[in-house]
Amino acid sequence: MTDLTYSDLIRDAQTRLGNYLTPCVRLGVTGLSRAGKTVFITALVRNLVSGGRLPFFSADAEHRIVRAYLEPQPDDSVPRFDYEAHLHDLLSVPPSWPDSTRRISELRVTIEYQSTSLLKRFVGLSKLHVDIVDYPGEWLIDLPLLDQDYRTFSTEALALAAAPERAEIAKPFLSFLAGTDPAAIEDEQIAMTGAKLFTDYLRRMRESGAQSTLAPGRFLLPGDLEGSPLLTFFPMPLASGERPPRSSLAAMMMRRFESYKSTVVKPFFNDHFARLDRQIVLVDVLGALNRGAAAVGDLERAMTAILKAFRPGANSWLSLLIGRKIDRILFAATKADHLPASSHDRLEAILKLIVDEAISRAETEGAGVSAIALAALRATRETTAKQGSEILPCLRGTPIQGETIGGVTFDGATEAAIFPGDLPIDAAAALSAARSAKTASLELVRFAPPKLIDTLPDGKPAAFPHIRLDRALDFLVSDYLA
């Protein structure tokens, strides 16, 4: 064995001490259907590990980031976020959007940086572990169920199902319910039929563009619970203050609802959600605005439900005893690349109005909360087009096959310059108009991913184009990199 020099021993001691002192921030990433969680994480990691251009990420702008790299995740019981497979989808020819989030997963990124602290610099290179926790927004929607009993859940779910914008889709379930007696003897076949019709209604609502308020979330993403009695219940009307008869159908539904909370929802909260330090919520505000009043109302209900689930507040040494709180929450309106740059601040302002109550509540509790418009992977480029004497700000990209604007149907391979329209300057007026509009004021299409390259001429990995991804990073982790 080679004898270690005094310098080697010092260096080894510094490395061991640095590893021991390495802080870890658990960053939760969630969002409602079609918000782009998978793409966000893939693009975020890619730009970090590739040394991408992140001018508004302060540690990078100050040239203090030495490198970032993936490491094995610490939680052996949680599936790993399949970064490499999602990256492969985006780099394929032709590129494709990766599959959406269907379960919880994690990924650890370690950032080595030069600290602004003299003490940290004496120890050596500083490191930060960022444990990214990806989970479906449907699971987050379930958390408010912990504070509800079966009667409250049923009252809210049935009121939503009977709403004008949902009643037609919910008609098969509501018709079944009208012919079902809650006091009848419990029956597994009735339970299975009702649960299937209720799930079909929820699924069709999601396919129609509903953002949320589709609890229970596992009905839409059952995983290995598919067919389980835990997912074989449905809401039923119950008279106020009355307890259903023993062994009745309603008593059966009530029992399974409570089992769902204790077996599915509580473990998610205790094992994963309650351990988060920071949170980003991705929101498809633009899609809701484009679909009209019903979608906007649904999005606002979703945000209300989500915000009730958070535990905002500042952390201190007491957090070790009473449990950690989420001390920074970022709401991000995704798909900013579907609008010209002049509308990015306007999209952000609309999101701020939607989550204004949450921002006020979280700030009162001592947490940092912000809202931003971003595109984690930019699929379009800015251009202009002349219409008569007017110059219009347009977007150039490749619309997905089957997308249609103005009678033109795109083939999925041809680039096009599109004028989607502009958001109004007054955010309050824009949101008010969207709440009452029955038709879209914008002309939007879905774009295919941009054609990306894997490596640069020097062999280094290429970064991905984005809009404000660096600002999101700065808000979420920059204080750890001081």
What's the pLDDT tens digit per position in 417-471? 999 888 889 988 888 888 877 556 678 899 999 999 999 998 889 999 999 999 9
Beta carbons of 106 and 80 less than 8 angstroms apart = yes
Domain count within the chain? 3
Residue 458 inside a domain? The answer is no
- Shared domain check, 109 and 60: yes
Higher pLDDT, 323 or 81: 81
pLDDT digit string, tens, across residues 94-115: 999 998 878 899 999 999 999 8
* Res 129: pLDDT: 96
Are 36 and 122 in the same domain? yes
Residue 321 pLDDT level (bands cut at 50, 70, 90): very low
Q: Tell me how far apart the alpha carbons of residues 378 and 166 are, in angstroms, rounded to a whole number.
A: 34
352 with 469, same domain?
yes
Whose tokens are 């209900």? That residue is 301
What pLDDT is recorded for position 295?
80
pLDDT band at 341 (very low <50, low <70, confident <90, very high): very high
More confident residue, 168 or 439: 168
CATH of the domain at 368: 3.40.50.300
**For residues 8-31, average pLDDT:** 71
Amino acid in position 132: I
Question: Per the domain annotation, does 471 fall within a domain?
Answer: yes
Same domain assignment for residues 15 and 99: yes
Instruction: Tell whether 227 and 341 lie within a shared domain.
Output: no
Residues 252 and 302 in one domain: no
pTM of the predicted model, to two decimals?
0.88
Single out the residue of 191, 175, 97 nearest to residue 450, CA to CA: 97
Task: Tell me, yes or no, whether 5 lies in a domain.
Answer: no
The answer on pLDDT for 156 being more than 70 is yes
pLDDT band per the 50, 70, 90 thresholds, residue 34:
confident
Q: What is the pLDDT of residue 319?
A: 39
Residue 2 has pLDDT above 60, yes or no: no
Same domain for 475 and 358, yes or no, is: yes
Whether residue 402 is predicted with pLDDT greater than 90 in this model: the reply is: yes
pLDDT, average across residues 162-181: 94
Structure tokens at 479: 């204080």
Q: What is the pLDDT of residue 316?
A: 39
Q: Which domain holds residue 426?
A: 381-436
C-alpha distances (whole Å) from 67 to each of 18, 34, 52 are: 16, 31, 11
Residue with the two structure tokens 């310098």: 7
Does residue 471 share a domain with residue 336?
A: yes
Q: What does the alpha-carbon distance between residue 426 and residue 161 come to, in Å, rounded to a whole number? A: 33
* pLDDT band at 389; cut points 50, 70, 90: confident
Tokens of 251: 């008593």
**83 has pLDDT over 50:** yes
Answer whether residue 3 is part of any domain: no
Of the three residues 210, 231, 266, the one that is the final residue of a domain is: 266
108 closest CA partner among 60, 86, 76, 138: 76
Token code pair at residue 351: 């999101």
Closest to 131 in 3D by CA, of 59, 72, 87, 60: 72
Sheet holding 390-397, edge to edge: 381-387, 390-397, 416-418
Q: Show which of 266, 301, 319 is a domain's final residue.
A: 266
130 with 171, same domain: the answer is no
Average pLDDT, stretch 369-373? 92
Task: Report yes or no on 249 lying in a domain.
Answer: yes
| CA of residue 208 relative to chain centroid, distance | 19
Higher pLDDT, 126 or 304: 126
Return the percentage of the chain with pLDDT > 70, whole number: 88
Tell me, what amino acid is at 74? P
* Final residue of a structural domain among 215, 232, 266: 266
User: Does residue 185 register a pLDDT over 70?
Assistant: yes
The per-residue pLDDT for 134 is 95
Query: Which residues neighbour 258 within 8 Å (Cβ) at sequence distance 6 or greater?
Result: 150
Confidence at 396, pLDDT banded by 50, 70, 90: very high
203 occurs within a structural domain: yes
Verify that 98 and 24 share a domain, yes or no: yes
Residue 130 shares a structural domain with residue 162: no
Answer with the residue of higher pLDDT: 6 or 342: 342
The whole-angstrom separation of Cα 147 and Cα 306 is: 13
For 461, phi and psi rounded to 5 degrees? Answer: -65, 140
Asked whether residue 242 is assigned to any structural domain, the reply reads: yes
If you average pLDDT over every residue of the chain, what do you get? 87
Q: Is pLDDT of 1 > 50?
A: no
pLDDT score, position 87: 97
Q: How far apart are CA 226 and CA 206, in angstroms?
A: 18
The predicted structure's pLDDT at residue 320: 37
Q: 342 and 471 in one domain?
A: yes
Q: Count CB neighbours of 37 within 10 A.
A: 25
pLDDT of residue 5: 65
In a domain, 443, yes or no: no
Segment 333-353 shows an average pLDDT of: 94
CA distances in angstroms from 338 to 23, 113, 389, 442, listed in the order given: 37, 34, 24, 10
